[in-house]
Chains A and B, each alone.
Chain A
Amino acid sequence: MLMKKVAARIVLAAAAAGVAGAAWAEDGPIKVGFVGGLTGACAALVEDELNAVRMGVDELNAAGGILGRQVELVVRDSQTKPDEGAKQSRELIVGEDIDLLTGVCSSSVMLAMTAVSKELKVPFYSAIGSTQKANVEAYQPYFWQVQANATMEAVAAAEYVAKKPEWRRIVPMGFDYEWGHSSVDAFTTHLKKLRPEIEITDPIFPKVGEANMAPYITAALAKQPDAIFAAVFGGGLASLIKQGQGYGMFERSNLVTLLTVDALQSMGDAMPKERVFGVARAPFFAIEDSEDARAFIAHYRSKYGEYPTDWSINGYDGLMFYAAAAEAAGSVEPDALMKAVHEITFDGLRGNALKVRAFDGQMNAPSYVGEVSFEDGYDFAIMKNVEVYAGEALMWPEETIQAARDAAK
């Protein structure tokens, strides 16, 4: 499965690999700097990504490495703090000569690290953190992200909601910070476009990480919505679902929210049997058609004793995409590599023909929306009737991004 990926289809002209920086090391191991929030708010997500990246590095090395060079992983803890993230990145770049920077999760750390990547010209990708600010205002040419960004995810949710004609009134809800607000905005705008007649109420913004969602649930249900769209995650999401049951939320309404595999797992039996709809990044149960993905899931399970989460799958895809780009470029020299990043087409666990758009560093990664359901063989709820939304349809067109960039100036 591995060789197929490394030998990904190469669309670019052979000339792409030409220019190599004079000071760039061309021998010794290729160093991957992983600066992740191993402690702090992101710990659970980053651990899953790191597990998959470790596995990927072992596989690459077993197959002869990248460009015949071994891959060495250097891991640092950003503590989910932007200053630590920036500092550790800088130290790895100047002290360890890393060829690639990744591991980022929270939006603030991501923006701090993309600035370092820009300044020191080291390729940097995100497989968890998904703020579209990194594609828009803070975009820089050494950055790309391998999962759907926050806006794309919200657009996918809107597409899904639009197809439920019986839903006529929607209450949007989001954590009161950048991710929550931009998700709610994108969702509302897109849904209005698809179904102008639908009623979308004023959004509700709980504090980030709020553990007591009862007042917000009461406020949302008082508007008698057919569905609630909630851009919340982690403890707040668990509280929303658990406390919502006491208010008859899943008899009186429906919930559409971000549901990654780790969230499904930690909810366990407490997940309502129906009326919950999840937007996901890379749920393993939705990609099992592919032989590569089945092999990856089996390998991951045998190695770590648990299912890979969305973070694991995107983390693995991210690393393999880098490997493919480096092979295509014939070098890990930043400018040559970035040219390849923007030109290759990659077959990953999440499907074929994944590409990174040069204009904003966004991969045309798919989004998955489905219906929560308990199925035999799993001790947690998974999703059925999962719809896959191809990335191209979700991405902002270049003109929209340009307009947003101009507006931010």
Chain B
Amino acid sequence: MMARLARAEMPRLRQMLFVAGAVAALEAVNRLTGVSGSLLVAEIIIMMVFASSLNLLMSFGHMVSFGHAAYFGLGSYGFALAITRFDVPAEAALVFGPLLAGIGGLVFGALCVRLTEIYFAMLTLACAQITYTVLFQWYDFTGGDTGLTGFMTPRFGLSEANFASAAMVLALVCLYVLWRVVHSPLGLAIRSVGQDRYRAEALGLSPRRVQLVAFVISAFFAGVAGTLFAVFHGNAFPDYAGLGFTLDALIMVVLGGLNSFLGGVWGALVYTLLKNFVPLMTAHWELILGLILLAIVLVMPHGLAGGVKRLAGMLGWGALR
């Protein structure tokens, strides 16, 4: 806790240099590696937002969600349904994705925060499965398993590279807001409830209310990622709220490193790269991916951010922490 608070005092300059360097590196890849590179960069960025939204819950609120894809999926569908069913212009529909996800977060979150630990996780799983089933079965409204397609030009017709850049700007805004949340009094409350809800309660906080606020914020940003994903592909499918995306997000956050703001970011970067390149190299990509996950967990039991932190410490770059 103390270490984390101290980080807020870190020299601003170093942090900004780090962010600028990261953005420059991603933008360089985006502009220099052709369309395939831009597609990859865009996917990584969307996953960074998605994983970071879960990271807020897990690293700071110590709430483990087994159903985060519900809010990603609601983001995609909020956007796509606004266009297809309510004739909202596509640009305006963008707000409905995160909005629906936030509402979903409010409803499900209100139930989930009544529980703790593994039962909390299991209730998030139940809520996500209910969401998935509704999207899958409500054929007349959601399009059922065949989803919604053809309601817009993917990426609003932007070139792949320009879309990746635009997504990067949006992701930076999201991450900045999340960063501010974590380092605001609200963030302190979230962290203290996450560490010891009884002590926090004794200090006058209402743990459930704090957790619910964290849950809604997290769902909202998962919805932003889901909306971006729907824009990216120009479609929405129930899969986006399914177990696959939930597990992806969990792997990214844990792999990236719990208890670190950048955990989700590192995890999204590495895991998305793995998921893209391993299948190109071998038909046995599941085996290789599994073995790589095992290796990472065994070598870096505190996640990639922990590993990066140690490396940065050795090199004397504080900003990477």
A and B part of one assembly: yes
Q: Are A112 and B283 in contact (CB under 8 A)?
A: no
How distant is the Cα of A79 from the Cα of B235 in the complex, in angstroms? Answer: 17
Query: When each residue 133-153 of chain A gets 1 if its CB lies under 8 Å from chain B and 0 otherwise, what string results?
Result: 100001000000000000000
Contact A38-B283, Cβ < 8 Å, known A94-B36, A108-B239 = yes
Q: Are B235 and A177 in contact (CB under 8 A)?
A: no
Q: Which chain A residues numbered 81 to 117 have a C-beta less than 8 Å away from chain B?
A: 81-83, 86-87, 90-91, 94-95, 107-108, 111-112, 114-115
Chain A CB within 10 A, most for which of B149, B238, B279: B149
B280 to chain A, nearest CB (A): 8
> How extensive is the interface on chain B, given as a class?
20 to 34
Query: When each residue 143-185 of chain B gets 1 if its CB lies under 8 Å from chain A and 0 otherwise, what string results?
Result: 0111101100110000010000000000000000000000000
Contact A86-B235, Cβ < 8 Å, known A81-B244, A108-B147, A138-B149 = yes
Residues in B whose Cβ lies below 8 Å from that of A269 = none
Chain B CB within 10 A, most for which of A38, A79, A83: A83
How distant is the Cα of A26 from the Cα of B34 in the complex, in angstroms? Answer: 23
Does A131 sit within 8 A of B, measured CB to CB?
A: yes
Q: Are B154 and A112 in contact (CB under 8 A)?
A: no
Contact A91-B137, Cβ < 8 Å, known A83-B233, A112-B147, A119-B154 = no
Does A288 sit within 8 A of B, measured CB to CB?
A: no
Query: When each residue 275-315 of chain B gets 1 if its CB lies under 8 Å from chain A and 0 otherwise, what string results?
Result: 00001000101100000000000000000000000000000
Q: Which chain A residues numbered 162 to 181 have a C-beta less than 8 Å away from chain B?
A: 176-178, 181
Interface of chain A, main secondary structure? helix
Does A392 sit within 8 A of B, measured CB to CB?
A: no
Q: Are A82 and B285 in contact (CB under 8 A)?
A: no
Does B229 sit within 8 A of A, measured CB to CB?
A: yes
Residues in B whose Cβ lies below 8 Å from that of A181 = 139, 144
How distant is the Cα of A94 from the Cα of B149 in the complex, in angstroms? Answer: 21
Q: Are A111 and B147 in contact (CB under 8 A)?
A: yes
Q: Are A178 and B144 in contact (CB under 8 A)?
A: yes
Contact A82-B36, Cβ < 8 Å, known A108-B146, A178-B139 = no
Q: Smallest CB-CB separation from A39: which chain B residue?
A: B286
Does B247 sit within 8 A of A, measured CB to CB?
A: no
Q: Are A177 and B136 in contact (CB under 8 A)?
A: yes
Q: Are A91 and B244 in contact (CB under 8 A)?
A: no
Does A58 sit within 8 A of B, measured CB to CB?
A: no
> How extensive is the interface on chain A, given as a class?
20 to 34
How distant is the Cα of A148 from the Cα of B283 in the complex, in angstroms? Answer: 30
Q: Are B146 and A131 in contact (CB under 8 A)?
A: yes
Residues in A whose Cβ lies below 8 Å from that of B146 = 107-108, 111, 131, 133, 178
Q: Are B39 and A90 in contact (CB under 8 A)?
A: yes
Chain B CB within 10 A, most for which of A77, A91, A108, A208: A108
Residues in A whose Cβ lies below 8 Å from that of B149 = 111-112, 114-115, 138
Residues in A whose Cβ lies below 8 Å from that of B237 = 82-83, 108, 112
Residues in A whose Cβ lies below 8 Å from that of B145 = 107-108, 177-178, 208
Q: Are B35 and A95 in contact (CB under 8 A)?
A: yes
Q: Are B34 and A77 in contact (CB under 8 A)?
A: no
How distant is the Cα of A132 from the Cα of B36 in the complex, in angstroms? Answer: 31
Residues in B whose Cβ lies below 8 Å from that of A177 = 136-137, 139, 144-145
A79 to chain B, nearest CB (A): 8
How distant is the Cα of A83 from the Cα of B286 in the complex, in angstroms? Answer: 18
A15 to chain B, nearest CB (A): 32
How distant is the Cα of A115 from the Cα of B150 in the complex, in angstroms? Answer: 6
Q: Are B34 and A83 in contact (CB under 8 A)?
A: no
Residues in B whose Cβ lies below 8 Å from that of A176 = 137
Residues in A whose Cβ lies below 8 Å from that of B285 = 39, 77
Contacts between the two chains (Cβ within 8 Å), count: 82
Q: Smallest CB-CB separation from A106: which chain B residue?
A: B145
Contact A115-B35, Cβ < 8 Å, known A83-B240, A177-B144, A178-B145 = no
Q: Which chain B residues numbered 105 to 163 have a C-beta less than 8 Å away from chain A?
A: 136-137, 139, 144-147, 149-150, 153-154, 160
Q: Are B239 and A77 in contact (CB under 8 A)?
A: no
Residues in B whose Cβ lies below 8 Å from that of A95 = 34-36
Residues in A whose Cβ lies below 8 Å from that of B35 = 91, 94-95
Q: Are A112 and B233 in contact (CB under 8 A)?
A: yes
Residues in A whose Cβ lies below 8 Å from that of B36 = 91, 94-95
B158 to chain A, nearest CB (A): 13
Q: Are B137 and A112 in contact (CB under 8 A)?
A: no
Q: Are B150 and A138 in contact (CB under 8 A)?
A: yes
Q: Which chain A residues numbered 3 to 20 have a C-beta less than 8 Å away from chain B?
A: none
How distant is the Cα of A201 from the Cα of B283 in the complex, in angstroms? Answer: 46
How distant is the Cα of A131 from the Cα of B149 in the complex, in angstroms? Answer: 14
Q: Smallest CB-CB separation from B244: which chain A residue?
A: A81
Q: Smallest CB-CB separation from A176: which chain B residue?
A: B137
Q: Smallest CB-CB separation from A107: which chain B residue?
A: B146
Chain A CB within 10 A, most for which of B35, B146, B154: B146
Does B257 sit within 8 A of A, measured CB to CB?
A: no
Contact A119-B136, Cβ < 8 Å, known A82-B237, A87-B39 = no
A405 to chain B, nearest CB (A): 12
Q: Which chain B residues numbered 196 to 242 have a C-beta less than 8 Å away from chain A?
A: 229, 233-235, 237-240
Q: Smallest CB-CB separation from A94: which chain B residue?
A: B35
Residues in B whose Cβ lies below 8 Å from that of A38 = 283
How distant is the Cα of A131 from the Cα of B147 in the complex, in angstroms? Answer: 12
Contact A82-B239, Cβ < 8 Å, known A94-B35, A138-B149, A138-B150 = yes
How distant is the Cα of A79 from the Cα of B283 in the complex, in angstroms? Answer: 11
B286 to chain A, nearest CB (A): 7
B175 to chain A, nearest CB (A): 23
How distant is the Cα of A320 from the Cα of B247 in the complex, in angstroms? Answer: 41
Contact A87-B43, Cβ < 8 Å, known A115-B149, A115-B150 = yes
Q: Which chain A residues numbered 35 to 90 have a C-beta less than 8 Å away from chain B?
A: 38-39, 76-77, 79, 81-83, 86-87, 90
Q: Which chain A residues numbered 198 to 212 have a C-beta less than 8 Å away from chain B?
A: 208
Q: Smallest CB-CB separation from B137: which chain A residue?
A: A176
Contact A91-B39, Cβ < 8 Å, known A82-B239, A83-B233, A119-B153 = yes
Q: Are B137 and A83 in contact (CB under 8 A)?
A: no
B311 to chain A, nearest CB (A): 32
Residues in A whose Cβ lies below 8 Å from that of B240 = 83
How distant is the Cα of A208 from the Cα of B132 in the complex, in angstroms? Answer: 13
Q: Smallest CB-CB separation from B153: which chain A residue?
A: A119
Inter-chain pairs besides A82-B233, A91-B36, A177-B145, 7 sampled, C-beta below 8 Å: A39-B285, A39-B286, A95-B36, A111-B146, A111-B235, A177-B144, A208-B145
A-B pairs, 4 with minimum CB distance: A94-B35, A177-B145, A95-B36, A82-B237
**What are 6 of the A-B contact pairs (CB < 8 Å)?**
A91-B35, A111-B147, A112-B147, A177-B136, A178-B145, A181-B144
